[in-house]
Amino acid sequence: MLTKRIIPCLDVKDGRVVKGIQFESLRDAGDPVELATFYDEQGADELVFLDISASYEGRATMEDVVRQTAAKLAIPFTVGGGIRTLEDMKRILRAGADKVSINTSALEQPTLIQEGADYFGSQCIVVAIDARFCEEDSTWMVYTHGGRNKTTWRAIEWAQEAVRLGAGEILLTSMDRDGEKTGFDLALTKAIRDAVTVPVIASGGAGNAEHFMEVLQQADADAALAASIFHYKETSVAAIKAYLHNKGVCVR
């Protein structure tokens, strides 16, 4: 049985960790380097760092913050936001990241996925998908630029295309559930998990330990990511993992 992973996420804007609801109403959650160190000590399996305004503002990821954060970590570290070229990937990986996450840039130039996979290996390339259910399309559609722009891609089809091009992992965020703490979108997660052959990280909606168990067992996610419930000390990585272990979920 493969071990399930618990991953805190640092959404960073202007050098600070922030969190909102459905990608809006952001509030401060702390210093990224301090939080990263805390989560490493707590037993997090990995850490995801997303510079959430880099693509929208048309700038590069904050390399100095990435370097400072990576220096404190002994766990795998994924960085995303503003990564548009192979050179950007090289820069972020040299700064200490283990994997790069691409979202908007992957949709605008899908060949970037293949270039990255060919150069670094698929295990380094995470394609992040921000999806929202659209009544008129009767399915989940993909959004770019931090959830601001709707694309013509259906989430399931885009996930499959991303994997075909070389993505080694899918970071799937339900925009409908983001920050709501009502539970992960099990239907969306299961649909993507059944459609691809690479690991799927579920994101958006974590509110308690039971939500993690549901998405890891019922939707068969390979990992579950959360932000606000960890940042604001509503629970801890250690507490979530202890709960899952007691319920028979295979965690480290």
Q: Which residues pair with 140 in a beta bridge?
A: 133
Q: Higher-confidence residue: 252 or 202?
A: 202
Instruction: Please give the pLDDT value at position 192.
Output: 98
> Does 20 have pLDDT greater than 70?
no
Over residues 7-23, mean pLDDT: 75
To 5 degrees, how large is the angle CA 178–CA 153–CA 158? 80
Over residues 59-80, mean pLDDT: 85
Instruction: Please give the pLDDT value at position 57.
Output: 55
Over residues 174-188, mean pLDDT: 94
| pLDDT tens-digit series, residues 211-231 | 999 999 999 999 999 988 998
Instruction: Please give the pLDDT value at position 146.
Output: 76
| 69 and 98 Cβ atoms separated by less than 8 Å | no
The closest alpha carbon to 216, from 205, 235, 201, belongs to: 201
Structure pTM?
0.92
The closest alpha carbon to 174, from 187, 158, 161, 159, belongs to: 187
Over residues 157-174, mean pLDDT: 98
Instruction: Please give the pLDDT value at position 21.
Output: 56
Instruction: Tell whether domain 5-246 is in CATH 3.10.580.10.
Output: no
DSSP code of residue 251: B
As a whole number, the mean pLDDT across the chain is: 91
> Does 60 have pLDDT greater than 60?
no
For residue 25, which phi and psi values (nearest 5 degrees)?
55, 55
Q: Which residues contact 5 (CB under 8 A, 6 or more apart)?
A: 45, 46, 201, 222, 223, 224, 251, 252
Helix (H) or strand (E) holding 218: none
| pLDDT tens-digit series, residues 117-147 | 999 999 999 999 999 999 998 999 999 987 8
Return the active site residues.
11, 130
> Does 43 have pLDDT greater than 80?
yes
Residue ranges per structural domain of the chain? 5-246
Q: Which residues pair with 225 in a beta bridge?
A: 7, 203
> Does 237 have pLDDT greater than 90?
yes
Helix (H, G, I), strand (E, B) or coil at 17: strand
